[in-house]
Amino acid sequence: MSTYKYTLYDYHAIKQAEITIDGITVLAGDNGCGKSTLSRWLYYLVNTSSRFEELLFHELKEQLESILRQGRSIARELSRYSDGFATEFTEISTRIHSVGYYEENSVQQLMQLFEDAMMMLNEALNRYLVDNRSEFRIQRMNRYLQLNIQNDGDVQSAINTFVSDRLKDAEAFLGEFHHNLEERSVERLFDLIHAAYRVTDSEPQRVQLSEDGVKLLRKNELGSLLALDRAIYVDTPMALNFGSVMSDSIFWQDLRTMMKGQPVALEANAVKLLIRIRQLIGGEVKLQQSFYNSTELHYIRKGDNLNIRLEDTATGMKTFAYIQKLVENGYLNERTLLLIDEPEAHLHPKWIFEFAHLLVLLNKDLGVKVMVASHNPDMVAALQKVAEIEGLIDNTHFYQAYPQEGGYQFEYRDLGGSISEIFRSFNIATSRIQDYGEPSNESGM
Give CA–CA dist 270/324, Å, rounded: 10
Q: Is the pLDDT of residue 260 over 50?
A: yes
* DSSP string for 202-229: PPPSSEEEEETTEESB-SSSB---SS--
Give the orientation angle of helix 349-366 with respect to helix 377-389, to 10 degrees.
Answer: 40
Mean pLDDT along residues 151-174: 89
Confidence bin at 385 (pLDDT 50/70/90): very high
In the chain, the percentage of residues whose pLDDT exceeds 70 is 92
Q: Is the pLDDT of residue 226 over 60?
A: yes
- β-bridge mates for residue 336, sequence order: 230
Give CA–CA dist 121/430, Å, rounded: 73
Mean pLDDT along residues 213-217: 97
Edge-to-edge strand list for the sheet holding 307-309? 283-289, 295-301, 307-309
pLDDT tens digits for 269-290?
999 999 999 999 999 999 888 7
Mean pLDDT along residues 112-133: 88
Mean pLDDT along residues 155-170: 92
23: closest CA among 365, 347, 329, 326? 365
Mean pLDDT along residues 109-133: 89
Question: What pTM does this model have?
Answer: 0.89
Query: 4-50+210-434 maps to which CATH number?
Result: 3.40.50.300
Per-residue model confidence (pLDDT) at position 327: 97
Give CA–CA dist 222/215, Å, rounded: 9
pLDDT tens digits for 362-376?
999 999 999 999 988
Mean pLDDT along residues 397-414: 93
Average pLDDT, the chain: 89
Q: Is the pLDDT of residue 440 over 60?
A: no
Per-residue model confidence (pLDDT) at position 430: 52
Q: Is the pLDDT of residue 444 over 60?
A: no
Residue 352 near residue 382 (C-beta atoms within 8 A): yes
The total number of residues written for the chain in this structure: 445
Question: At 280, is the secondary structure helix, strand, or coil?
Answer: helix
Mean pLDDT along residues 110-124: 93
Per-residue model confidence (pLDDT) at position 1: 81
Give CA–CA dist 216/279, Å, rounded: 41
Confidence bin at 245 (pLDDT 50/70/90): very low
- DSSP category for residue 235: S
Confidence bin at 445 (pLDDT 50/70/90): very low
Buried b (16+ CB within 10 A) or exposed e, 174-187: beebeebeeebebe
Point out the least confidently predicted range of 257-266, 324-333, 435-444: 435-444
Give CA–CA dist 245/33, Å, rounded: 26
277: closest CA among 342, 366, 339? 366
- DSSP category for residue 312: G
Per-residue model confidence (pLDDT) at position 328: 96
Edge-to-edge strand list for the sheet holding 4-11? 214-215, 207-211, 4-11, 14-21, 410-414, 396-403, 24-28, 369-374, 336-341, 230-234
Any residues with CB less than 8 A from the CB of 165 and at least 6 apart, and which? Answer: none
Residue 205 near residue 10 (C-beta atoms within 8 A): yes
pLDDT tens digits for 345-362?
888 888 999 999 999 999
Q: Is the pLDDT of residue 95 over 50?
A: yes
Give CA–CA dist 126/131, Å, rounded: 6
Mean pLDDT along residues 426-445: 55
Per-residue model confidence (pLDDT) at position 125: 86
Per-residue model confidence (pLDDT) at position 137: 79
Give the orientation angle of helix 35-50 with respect to helix 186-196, to 10 degrees.
Answer: 110
44: closest CA among 2, 6, 13, 101? 6
Give the domain ranges of the chain. Answer: 4-50+210-434, 55-183
Point out the least confidently predicted range of 6-10, 126-130, 187-191: 126-130
Give CA–CA dist 28/420, Å, rounded: 12
Residue 426 near residue 29 (C-beta atoms within 8 A): no
Question: At 187, is the secondary structure helix, strand, or coil?
Answer: helix
